[in-house]
Amino acid sequence: MTVLVTGAAGRIGRHVTRILRASGDPVRALVLPDDPGRAWLAAQAGVEIVEGRLEDRASLVPAVRGARAIVHLAAALTSRGGIDDEFFAANAAGTYHLLAAIRDSGSRPDRVCIVSSDAVYWGGGGPAFSPVDETHPRIPASVYGATKVAAEELALTFQRAYGIPVTIVRPSATADAEELIDPDGVFGSRMWVASAIRRIEAHRAPSAADRELLAALRPHADAGPALYLVADPDGRTAISTLNDARDAAAGIVGALRHPLAVGEAFNIGPAAPYAEAELLGHLGRRLGLPVVTVTLEGARPSWIVSSAKARAVLGYAPERSVTGMVDEALAARGEAGR
Ligand SMILES: NC(=O)c1ccc[n+]([C@@H]2O[C@H](COP(=O)([O-])OP(=O)(O)OC[C@H]3O[C@@H](n4cnc5c(N)ncnc54)[C@H](O)[C@@H]3O)[C@@H](O)[C@H]2O)c1
């Protein structure tokens, strides 16, 4: 069956595409005209590329036509430097355009999997309860999170109004292993002092939390390469959940295919939470870098998301750990350097 994957050229989309192709499903990939991941997709057998933009409904019609299932990953992301207007246009209005294109094309996919985010739960303070499961209130403290709530609600409304079967998945923060050792990448800026300073200084609209982080990091800017660990004023460092993109993709495809997933939402997280102090310590030892601790009033509290429902219903079985991802990426870099 042809599966349309929006955002197929992105971090998670490539793994979703690989998994679908490995089980023989033809993939139709929706890509932006200037998408940097396009060359990778073009080299995959059994992948048809369709150019389109979520903001442009007419461009989505040929993409949805005849698709037996749809995985909707394309979005503007906070970690890619997106701003509120872009989140609204791509994630809220764009998801509406995709759903309306399905409705108007006469296609009747067996399933539409909407990839949301655990940002829907993040109200700014600590969680209402922990671990955060699917019954946690959705009280986003970011426009990005609000656009994901909007996308979820639009999809469920299209299911009720037009009989389009949908499934919602809410991944935790998700990285490729090599991103954990790349100072210049999205995740490097959460760990390398110099990279965080560069990212925040370049951002068009840095948040209050980012401005506080920038002020705390600047005194360390000239001390040579270093990693940073965030502590709250009581010296506590956080426990968090971070997915390997391969695990997240397996969870998404599992949700797409499972008959009991219609109308349901699933958190898709890692095998176990990790301590940020453990990850930074491990990375520092492996790279021979010091780790400085910065104290922030606005330090993000521990954030532990439960994937128990996905494990029980879908058989979701994430395999990787953050320290294992670091080791794997360093081994791959060593191999590549030989
Ligand atoms: N990576 C994470 O930490 C994380 C965590 C939770 C949820 N998610 C969600 O998972 C999905 C995939 O994320 P990812 O990490 O692979 O991100 P990514 O940025 O690597 O991929 C997103 C893809 O969407 C495409 N895209 C962006 N705007 C578009 C538009 N207006 N029209 C068409 N295509 C557009 C991009 O070109 C890219 O290929 C997103 O919906 C994201 O919100 C990601």
Q: What pLDDT, in 10s, does the model give residues 11-43?
A: 999 999 999 999 999 999 999 999 989 999 999
- pLDDT tens for 152-190 read 999 999 999 999 999 999 999 999 999 999 999 889 999
Residues 289 and 258 in one domain: no
Report pLDDT for 81.
83
Ligand 1 atom nearest the C-alpha of 86 is: 31
Domain with 18 in it: 3-175+243-270+304-320
Report pLDDT for 224.
87
CA of 16 to the centre of ligand 1 (A): 12
Residues 221 and 96 in one domain: no
Residues 218 and 259 in one domain: no
* CA 34/CA 22 separation, integer angstroms: 27
User: Do 45 and 17 contact (CB within 8 A), yes or no?
Assistant: no
Residues 260 and 279 in one domain: no
CA of 336 to the centre of ligand 1 (A): 27
Report pLDDT for 144.
97
User: Do 289 and 195 contact (CB within 8 A), yes or no?
Assistant: no
Please indicate whether residue 50, judged by its CB atom, sits closer than 6 Å to ligand 1: no
Residues 34 and 166 in one domain: yes
Please indicate whether residue 145, judged by its CB atom, sits closer than 6 Å to ligand 1: no
CA of 334 to the centre of ligand 1 (A): 29
Residues 8 and 143 in one domain: yes
Angle between helices 11-22 and 245-257 (to 10 degrees): 50
Instruction: List phi, psi (to 5°) of 25.
Output: -80, 130
Residues 82 and 51 in one domain: yes
**Nearest-CA residue for atom 5 of ligand 1:** 173
CATH code of the domain containing 119: 3.40.50.720
Please indicate whether residue 115, judged by its CB atom, sits closer than 6 Å to ligand 1: yes
- Enter the tokens of residue 177: 């292993």
Secondary structure element (H or E) that encloses residue 70, with its range: strand 69-72
Residues 184 and 70 in one domain: no
Pocket test for ligand 1, best of 28, 71, 73 (most atoms within 8 A of CB): 73
Among 187, 190, 167, which residue's Cα sits nearest to residue 267?
A: 167
Report pLDDT for 336.
72
Report pLDDT for 338.
54
CATH code of the domain containing 280: 3.90.25.60
User: Do 72 and 115 contact (CB within 8 A), yes or no?
Assistant: yes
Number of structural domains in the chain: 2
CA of 113 to the centre of ligand 1 (A): 14
Residues 195 and 249 in one domain: no
Residues 219 and 247 in one domain: no
Report pLDDT for 337.
60
Instruction: For the chain, 338 residues long, give each residue's pLDDT as a single digit of tens.
Output: 899 999 999 999 999 999 999 999 999 999 999 998 999 999 999 999 999 999 999 999 999 999 999 999 999 998 888 899 999 999 999 999 999 999 999 889 999 999 999 999 998 888 999 999 999 999 999 999 999 999 999 999 999 999 999 999 999 999 999 999 999 988 999 999 999 999 999 988 888 989 999 999 999 999 889 999 999 999 999 999 999 999 999 999 999 999 999 999 999 999 999 999 999 999 999 999 999 999 999 898 999 999 999 999 999 999 999 999 999 999 999 877 65
Residues 111 and 147 in one domain: yes
* CA 58/CA 270 separation, integer angstroms: 37
Residues 213 and 100 in one domain: no
